[in-house]
Amino acid sequence: MRILVLTKRQYTSKDLIDDRYGRLWEIPSSLAKKGNEIIGICLSYRKKRSGLHVEEDENSMAVRWYSANTGIFYIFGLIRFFLIARKMIKQYKPDIIWSCSDTFYGVLGYYFSRKYQCRSVIDLYDNFESFASYRIPILRTLFRKAVRESDGLSCVSTNLEEHIRINYKREKPIAVITNAVNTETFYPMDKLECRKKLGLPLDAKIIGTAGDLSKQRGGHIMFRAMLEKKDQLLNVHLAVAGSRAAGTIIPESDRIHDLGILPPGQVPVLINALDVAVVYNRTSLFGDYCFPQKLYEILACQRPIVAADVGVMSTILKDKPYLLYTEDDMDSFVYVIKEQLSNQKKLDITIPTWSNQADLLQNYMFSVISNT
C-alpha cells in the first residue's frame, strides 16, 4: 500500500522526528518494514529543520518524513501546511491517508480523501474532545463529521470506541489499536545499577513514574502522599520525571527526587530503578478514554505497578483490585502502595509490540480498501 501520514510533529511532550517516540513514529516505521510505501507530512509548532527527513534501516525500508514549520503567524503556517500536503498527495497518489494527532489533521485527511479519491483512516490516540482545538466550533463540527463518515477509524481503547459509536453515531467498522512498547528499549535491567546512573538512594524503597506530572492527570497524589502520609511511608522515596503544566509544584524533600524531563533512552532506566511504578490518572474527557503508554513500558521492564481505578485500567485490572487505588483518595493510594512494596506482585499480561499493532492496522487498511 501507499500510505500518507498527516500529523503534528510535537505530541505527548515529545518531538516525532527528534525523539522517534511513540505511536506516530513506531507504527509508520513498522508499516514501512512490512513493505508498504510510507510518506509522512508533519507540522512543527516549533522552529525545526524543515524539508525531508529519511532514516533508512539496513533494508532501506523507511518512512520519508516531510516537516514544515508554522512560523510566527500560526494561521499562515496552517495554510502553508495545507498547500504542501495537497501538492504531495497529488504527486504521491496514496491509497490511504492516515491522519493523526489532533482534530485539524483528521478533518484535513478526510477532505483530501474525498478530493483525490483515496481512502481515509483517522487515528484517535486520545479522546480529542479533551484537546483545545475541539473547542473551536467550526473545527469541532467538521471533526465529528469526519470521524462519523471516514472510511476507517483507528482508536486507542475500547472505551473510546464505545464513546465514538454512541456519541458520534459512527456505523462503519472501527479498529481498536492500543499503544504498545519497543522491547529493544524497555526491558528488565539491574535495579541498583539503574539507581547509580540516576543518583538515587540504593537502600531505600522507591516508588514513582515517568509521565505528565500535572494535577489534571493525577500526578499530585504521589506528592501529597509523600508529605501528608510520610509516617505511613517510612523509608519510602519518590522518583519522578516528565513534563508538567505551568504551576505544577514539585515539593522539596530529601525523599522526593525530581529528575526533570529525561531523554527517552533514560526513561527505562528510571522505571527499572523503582520498587513500585505508579500509573496515575483521573476521571476526565482524557482519562476515561486514554490507554496509558506507561503501563506497557512498566510491564516490559517487569516492575510491579499500582494504578488509578479509572478508564481502561479498571477493565484491565478488574480481577486484580488489590492493584487499584481510588483516584484522589490518599488512604487508598497509600494502602495499595504499602501492599505492593511488601508483596511485589507482578502482572502477567501479553505485551504487544509496535510491529504487532502495525499488523492490525495494515489488515484493517486492506479491509477498508476492499470494502469501500
| Whole-angstrom distance, CA of residue 78 vs CA of residue 41 | 12
| Whole-angstrom distance, CA of residue 27 vs CA of residue 354 | 6
Rounded to two decimals, what is the model's pTM? 0.91
How far CA 44 is from CA of 18, 51, 74, 347, in Å, comes to: 11, 11, 11, 38
pLDDT at 57: 57
pLDDT single digits (tens) 312-340: 999 999 999 999 999 999 999 999 999 99
| Whole-angstrom distance, CA of residue 370 vs CA of residue 372 | 6
Where are any strands of DSSP class E within 110-172?
119-124, 152-155
What is the total residue count of the chain? 372
pLDDT at 21: 84
pLDDT at 295: 94
Which of 52, 45, 54, 62 minimizes the C-alpha distance to 7?
A: 45
Which residues face 206 on adjacent strands? 237
The angle, 0 to 180 degrees and rounded to 10, between the axes of the packed helices 354-371 and 23-33 is 70
Where are any strands of DSSP class E within 2-86?
2-8, 10-11, 14-15, 37-44, 51-54, 64-69
CA 84 from centre of chain: 27
Q: Is the dihedral of CA 27, 31, 33, 34 positive or negative?
A: positive
pLDDT single digits (tens) 91-147: 999 999 999 999 999 999 999 999 999 999 999 999 999 999 999 999 999 999 999
Which of 187, 164, 102 minimizes the C-alpha distance to 139?
A: 102
Q: Pairing between strand 37-44 and 2-8?
A: parallel
pLDDT at 55: 66
Task: Collect all residues with Cβ–Cβ distance below 8 Å to 135 and sequence separation of at least 6.
Answer: none
Instruction: Identify the residue whose cell numbers are 522526593.
Output: 256
Single-letter code of the amino acid located at 220: H
Task: Collect all residues with Cβ–Cβ distance below 8 Å to 74 and sequence separation of at least 6.
Answer: none
pLDDT at 358: 97
Burial of 135 (0-12, 13-18, 19+ CB in 10 A): exposed
Can you read off the three cell numbers belonging to residue 266? 533514560
pLDDT at 58: 52
| Whole-angstrom distance, CA of residue 362 vs CA of residue 144 | 24
Taking the CA atoms of residue 152, residue 156, residue 159 and residue 162 in that order, the dihedral angle to the nearest 10 degrees is 0
Residues of the chain with pLDDT under 50: none
- The set of long-range contacts for 33-38, using a CB threshold of 8 Å and a minimum separation of 24, is 33/57, 33/59, 33/61, 33/355, 34/358, 34/359, 34/362, 35/61, 36/1, 36/2, 36/3, 36/362, 37/1, 37/2, 37/3, 38/3, 38/4, 38/5, 38/63, 38/64
| Whole-angstrom distance, CA of residue 37 vs CA of residue 227 | 53
